Amino acid sequence: MSGRLTTPRRFAWLPWVGRPIDLLSSLALVLVLLGMAAYSLTVGSYPMSLAQAWAQLLGGEQLASAQGNVLWELRLPRILLAILGGAAMALAGLLMQSLTRNPLAAPGLVGVEAGASVTMLLILVIWPSALPLQLYPLAALVGGLAVAVFVVGLSWRRGIAPLRLILVGVGLTAMLGAVADLLITYGNIDRVESALMWLGGSLHRGGWGQVQSLTLWLLIAGLPLLFCHRQLNLLQLGEGVALSRGLNVPWVMGLLLLCSVMLTAAAVANVGVMTFVGLVAPHLARQLCGDRHGALIPLSALFGALLVLLGDTLGRALFPPLQLPAGLVVAIIGAPYLLVLLARQRNR
Rounded distance between C-alpha atoms, residue 263 and residue 304, angstroms: 13
pLDDT at 5: 43
Computed from CA positions of residues 84, 309, 210, 92, in that sequence, does the dihedral angle turn out positive or negative?
Answer: negative
Q: What are phi and psi of 113, to 5 degrees?
A: -60, -45
Burial of 146 (0-12, 13-18, 19+ CB in 10 A): middle
Whether pLDDT at 79 is above 90? yes
Which one of 2-6, 158-162, 317-321 scores highest in mean pLDDT? 317-321
Taking the domains of the chain in order of start, what are their residue ranges?
3-347
pTM: 0.86
Q: What is the pLDDT of residues 35-58, one digit of tens each?
A: 999 999 888 777 777 887 787 777
Whether pLDDT at 86 is above 90? yes
Mean pLDDT over 282-301 rounds to: 89
Number of neighbours of residue 347 by Cβ within 10 angstroms? 6
Whether pLDDT at 297 is above 90? yes
Mean pLDDT over 253-277 rounds to: 85
Whether pLDDT at 2 is above 50? no
Whether pLDDT at 347 is above 60? no
Q: What is the pLDDT of residues 231-240, one digit of tens each?
A: 888 888 777 7
Tell me whether the omega of the peptide bond preceding residue 321 falls within 30 degrees of 0, making it cis: yes
Q: What is the DSSP code string of 46-77?
A: S---HHHHHHHHHT-S---HHHHHIIIIIIHH
pLDDT at 136: 74
Whether pLDDT at 60 is above 70? no
pLDDT at 144: 82
Which of the 8 DSSP states describes residue 107? G
pLDDT at 88: 93
Residue 242 or 297, more confident: 297
Model confidence band, residue 8 (pLDDT cutoffs 50, 70, 90)? very low
Asked if 310 and 120 count as a contact pair (C-beta separation under 8 A), the reply is no
Model confidence band, residue 11 (pLDDT cutoffs 50, 70, 90)? very low
Cα-only R_g, the chain: 21
Mean pLDDT over 100-125 rounds to: 82
Burial of 80 (0-12, 13-18, 19+ CB in 10 A): buried
* Range name among 6-10, 78-82, 170-174, 299-303 with the lowest pLDDT average: 6-10
Whether pLDDT at 4 is above 50? no
Whether pLDDT at 95 is above 80? yes
Those residues whose C-beta lies under 8 Å from the C-beta of residue 83, and which sit 6 or more positions away, are 33, 37, 305, 308, 309
CATH level 3 topology of 3-347: ABC transporter involved in vitamin B12 uptake, BtuC (1.10.3470)
Whether pLDDT at 99 is above 70? yes
Q: What angle do CA 59, 64, 68 make, to 5 degrees?
A: 55
Q: What is the pLDDT of residues 180-232, one digit of tens each?
A: 888 888 878 877 877 777 777 778 777 888 898 899 999 999 988 988 888 88
Whether pLDDT at 338 is above 80? no
Whether pLDDT at 85 is above 90? yes
The percentage of residues in the chain with a pLDDT greater than 90, rounded to a whole number, is 19
